[in-house]
A and B are shown apart, each in its own frame.
Chain A
Amino acid sequence: MDPLLEGLRLVAAPDVLIAIFASAVYGLVVGSLPGLSATMATALLVPVTFWLSPIAAIATIITASAMAIFSGDIPGALLRIPGTPASAAYTDEAYAFTRKGQPELALGAGLWFSAIGGIVGTLSLMLLAPALAEVALSFSTYEYFWLALLGLMCATLVARSSPIKAIASMLLGLLIACIGMENPAGTPRFTFGIPDLLGGIEPIPALVGVFAVSEVMRAMASVEPPKMPFRRFGSILANQWKLTKQYQWPMWRGNFVGIVIGVLPGAGADMAAWVSYAMSKKFSKTPEKFGTGHAEGLVEAGASNNASLASGWVPSLLFGIPGDTITAIAIGVLYMKGLNPGPTLFTERAGSMYALYIIFILANIIMIPLGIVMIRVASRVLRAPRAAVMPIILLLCAVGSFATGNNLFSVLLVGLFGCLGYVMEKNGYPIAAMVLGIVMGNMVEQSFITSLIKSDGDVLPFFERPVSAFLAALTLGALFWPVAAWAWKRLAPRRAPAAVG
């Protein structure tokens, strides 16, 4: 029997369709709550999958994770509270739209380009899986080191601030990531004897603190802004086709970068969004508009992070290596349901594999109507008085961070990070750069230290392999950009004194 038809037959079963719909709604709701990540939404589904047929079980995981990643953008755009580390890269951009009174444009772009990214990512999974898997397997720790460093360098590009302050913020994030014993040496560092610090600082409480709590703190210190004139929420999809044509090239670049980063185990949607947003700004004709409510970066990063979600399944399906935390959970479910990862899955169980692809595409298609409903419901929050919304956000911050590990220590962390975020923001230190440092810290150190251990302290292997040499060149280029830009600024006035204001 044709595997494609077999796949269609498997997906068309009523229990699978119900599972897709129910988990879509579930993923949208959970992802939009601050502090609850897509990983958490997926993990909570695992006990439910015990009772489902194999295809329905996988369908719930795929659908819920795709929905949760998209809906993480909703609180980011409306309230400046990113739902996931992936959306932290462009939260300020999306929130700038809301302040201009066009939240529907930012959210619509998030929805539309997420769906496109998801579908393109799935196609890459279908057509290129074996080739992509070989790329993933050829990456050793040296390549990962350069990749991680390149990711960190995005901090200077993303921020609308002094590059030196951006680097300082990122270093602060890296220092925070040093806390605990989850380092290559397994030695507790900077724990000050507090057992809760042994496991390190989780990105979610830090993220919620620096973005959401500091936003509530700012609200306390300012007078309520005048209400925006009441206006019907515009059509959500109307402008997206125009954007698709206008920013076609960034969109494809975002898809491509997302697919490549997603395939590499350990570098998931978070990094894809950051790198794509930074690339978009770097190659844009109008980089000065970034951060003021400009769609270009949203298009590229939105496409990128969902594309990486789909291609992240490649190493998981072929070698059982999780591409990110979500696929780590999914691998468990695959084994449980007898769909053991491995090359044989693609040959002997081709029908099931096609079913999986179809579910991916289906999930990204129903994301559009469900997402529109979700955006319309969520945007009511903007019309509520600020004094009613902000306290509830604070409560959600407390409960959401508690839920990450059922540990009250996280609630204290959220408060501390709120203060830190507030002070940093007031003094021109970009908080997104610090979040990037926290998210990437472990990968940077891990790849750096293990590479040194493997090479017995020799630096040469960092540059020897062809891929690592290429990545090294890119990274060093990005590293010296701020210095060059600074020198340029200092020299420029002498050549054109009238240009300085």
Chain B
Amino acid sequence: MNATRRRTLLGASGALLAAPALGQPRWPARPIQMICPWAAGGGTDAVLRIIATLLEKDLGQPINVVNRTGGSGVVGHAAIASANPDGYTMGIITSEICMLHWQGLTEVTFRNFTPLGLMNNDPAGIQVASNGPHQDVRALAEAVKASRPGQFKASGTGQGGIWHLSLAGWLMAIGVPATHVRWVPSNGAAPAMQDLVAGGLDFTTNSVVEARAMLDANRARSLAVMATERLGAFPNIPTLKEAMGIDYSNGAWRGIAGPPNLPAAVRTAMNAALDRVFKSSEYVAFMNSRGFGLTYADAEGFGRHLAASDAALGDAMKAAGLARS
């Protein structure tokens, strides 16, 4: 069943890709390697694997996903940036690439990549336990402002992780110092949500998606989402703008990129292929089922997004004292 489906799609994609310049072998002529800087089984791995499966059908060549883990993403990102720019090694890059270099952990920045397409963005939310005292985000903000420094405890990920920065950004937006609320580092969002429900924390600032099961179980509530518009999967959660008139957004994003100086033919072909993948019903269905945010930007838009994200995260890290001066 799969074989026939694959063959028809392969034929269709062959017809779609008009023959390129004569005399040159058509790209891709052999299998492509896609590097994932995070471990197999995680969210980034899942997103890359669905993209790879769909790209494989679209481009007609096998796509091998390779997990190059280590160094909190440093190793895999560096492997993508330093790959041979022949169009046969690319990978998925994540928000961390705009954070690690501010901490002085790597020399690699977003400028060391050829952006190909932004495929996903999961905005941060503000979650409280459902039996907690704060009914809306405005009340929580007032309580935070009235508290003494370090009295409120929040979590969502490790020290200096992306959700720590969403806390710092939100605190600055409501006019208190970025370190006013004490950050409790955790091994990711799931343990933080558990500690929130067990009564160990005041609120969490991880993504709404990661809080989903606790929200469904009515153990926690999400007061606001740090995005420009409401999420399709969570239409009842107001944006910060709606709830308290603050223009602040932050999220964990993922995109496909290659090493610098990719041939123009590869860039164009990948750009078109990623566009088709993003619009395919399989991708939309997969992302919706996992609750991952569907945000797309083409190569150029992804490039602008990278620059903006790098600047914003850098500011938040400096304010929270996390950047290496």
Contact = CB atoms under 8 A, between A and B. Distances in A.
Task: Answer yes or no: A and B touching, Cβ < 8 Å.
Answer: yes
Interface of A: 39-40, 42-44, 46-47, 50-51, 136-141, 180-182, 184-188, 195-199, 265-266, 315, 318-322, 325, 328-329, 331-332, 335-338, 340-344, 404-407, 409, 442, 446, 449-450, 453-454, 456
A319 B219 contact: yes
Interface in B188-236: 190-191, 193-195, 197-201, 212-214, 216-217, 219
Contacts of A184: 158-159, 185
Interface in B33-58: 39-43, 45-46, 49-50, 53
Contacts of A188: 105
Contacts, number: 161
Interface of B: 2, 39-43, 45-46, 49-50, 53, 65-72, 74-75, 78, 105-106, 150, 153, 158-161, 182, 184-187, 190-191, 193-195, 197-201, 212-214, 216-217, 219, 286, 289-291
Given A321-B191, A453-B182, 10 more contacts: A43-B40, A50-B53, A137-B194, A195-B74, A198-B105, A199-B75, A329-B41, A343-B216, A343-B217, A454-B153
B194 A321 contact: yes
B321 to A, nearest CB: 12
A51 B2 contact: yes
Contact of A405 (B41, B68, B160, B286): B68
A454 B184 contact: yes
A320 B46 contact: no
10 contacts: A44-B40, A47-B49, A47-B53, A184-B158, A184-B185, A196-B71, A319-B213, A328-B42, A340-B213, A456-B150
A332 B194 contact: no
Contacts of B187: 266, 442, 446
B217 A406 contact: no
Interface centre among A180, A325, A335 (most CB of B within 10 A): A335
Given A51-B2, A322-B190, A407-B68, A140 B46 contact: no
A446 to B, nearest CB: 6
B291 A335 contact: yes
B197 A332 contact: no
A341 B286 contact: no
A455 to B, nearest CB: 10
A20 B200 CA distance: 41
Contact of A265 (B49, B66, B190): B190
Contacts of A341: 213, 216
Contacts of B40: 40, 43-44, 46
Nearest to B186: A450
